[in-house]
């Protein structure tokens, strides 16, 4: 999931347009993008769309709903309304402990059973508070429904006087979240970049996240999607190198060799795993044929 485009749940005129756009996934937002006075209206609008044939068929996007946080009066109603076969993931804002995740997962599983679903939607868990950052691994590994951690730098920085564009702070948080997700065996996703007009800033932040092993980035405007898609997919040079490593690994395995050299670099298991992941992603994106 290279790109995740936010779509306000109070803007139904955008739903169909977003479905045919270039983003890998859509995150229908019931939280920050919806005014408090319009929460019930937005929930009803989104519920109607999610039960439509348009949402259920004819697209290959991952559909996500960012619900309201557990400490709001909207959480239970959001879950009951949006857990349905069209929704792949639920984005949970501001979980702070493993218990929060387990409670949210229980609510989602109950709603899935009530909807007659064999499998509940997965949980994308936001890391948006100092406590959540400190407990990121516990949050990531709290429940099998967890599919990824997502960074929320605005919520994490702004209330505490940390400049949102401070490179050292961004890198430290991203690396901490990436390692927590890696330990739990799930993905890490970069958050939003609010300055829509600063395309260079968005690209630089996305490139940093990609170098740190993040899978994709949130987009708050369609103009950011193409950049995210380009940054979070293998480049030609990386893919060519990965294909060489995978081929060399197969030969080395046949020859009973543990470590070997490809283009002047010593290769062993960690490098092979990385190369295999790059090749698998390229195949999934159609950049190479299945037998390529």
Q: Which long-range contacts (CB under 8 A, 24 or more apart) does 132-137 make?
A: 132/94, 132/95, 132/96, 133/173, 133/176, 133/177, 135/96, 135/97, 135/98, 136/176, 136/177, 136/180, 136/181, 137/179, 137/180, 137/183, 137/184
The predicted pLDDT at position 289 comes to 78
Instruction: Print burial letters for 28-49: b (CB count within 10 Å at least 16), e (below 16).
Output: bbbbebbeeeebeebbebbbeb
Print the domain residue range for 31: 3-231
Q: Rounded to whole angstroms, how far apart are CA atoms 21 and 232?
A: 17
Q: 278 and 186: one domain? A: no
73 within some domain: yes
Same domain, 47 and 168: yes
Say yes or no: 246 and 219 in one domain.
no
Write down the pLDDT at residue 286: 85
- Report pLDDT for 282: 87
Number of domains composing the chain:
2
Per-residue pLDDT at 291:
61
State the pLDDT at residue 163: 96
**What pLDDT tens digit does each residue of the chain (292 aa) get?**
999 999 999 999 999 999 999 999 999 999 999 999 999 999 999 999 999 999 999 899 999 999 999 999 999 999 999 999 999 999 999 999 999 999 999 999 999 999 999 999 999 999 999 999 999 999 999 999 999 999 999 999 999 999 999 999 999 999 999 999 999 999 999 999 999 999 999 999 999 999 999 999 999 999 999 999 999 998 888 898 999 999 999 988 898 888 889 998 999 888 998 898 889 888 888 888 776 4
Same structural domain, 133 and 260: no
Same domain, 85 and 215: yes
pLDDT at 259: 82
Same-domain check for residues 106 and 146 = yes
| Final residue belonging to a domain, choices 231, 250, 276 | 231
């Amino acid at each position: 999931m290279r790109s995740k485009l936010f779509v306000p749940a109070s803007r139904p005129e955008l739903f169909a347009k977003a479905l045919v756009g270039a983003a890998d996934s859509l995150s229908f937002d019931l939280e920050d993008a919806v005014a408090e006075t319009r929460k019930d209206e937005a929930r009803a609008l989104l519920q109607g769309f999610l039960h439509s044939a348009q949402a259920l068929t004819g697209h290959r996007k991952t559909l996500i709903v960012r619900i309201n946080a557990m400490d709001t009066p909207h959480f239970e109603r959001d879950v009951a309304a949006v857990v349905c076969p069209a929704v792949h993931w639920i984005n949970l804002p501001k979980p702070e402990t493993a218990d929060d995740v387990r409670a949210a997962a229980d609510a989602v599983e109950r709603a899935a059973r009530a909807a007659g679903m064999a499998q509940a939607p997965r949980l994308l868990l936001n890391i948006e508070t100092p406590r959540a950052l400190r407990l990121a691994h516990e949050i990531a590994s709290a429940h099998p429904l967890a599919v990824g951690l997502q960074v929320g730098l605005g919520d994490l920085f702004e209330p505490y006087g940390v400049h949102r564009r401070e490179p050292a702070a961004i890198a430290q948080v991203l690396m901490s979240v990436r390692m927590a997700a890696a330990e739990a065996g799930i993905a890490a996703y970069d958050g939003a970049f609010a300055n829509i007009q600063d395309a260079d800033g968005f690209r630089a932040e996305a490139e940093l996240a990609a170098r740190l092993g993040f899978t994709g980035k949130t987009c708050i405007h369609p103009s950011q999607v193409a950049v995210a898609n380009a940054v979070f997919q293998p480049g030609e040079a990386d893919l060519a190198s990965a294909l060489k490593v995978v081929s060399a690994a197969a030969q080395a395995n046949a020859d009973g060799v543990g470590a070997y050299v490809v283009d002047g670099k010593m290769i062993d298991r960690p490098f092979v795993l990385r190369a295999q992941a790059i090749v698998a992603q390229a195949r999934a994106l159609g950049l190479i044929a299945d037998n390529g």
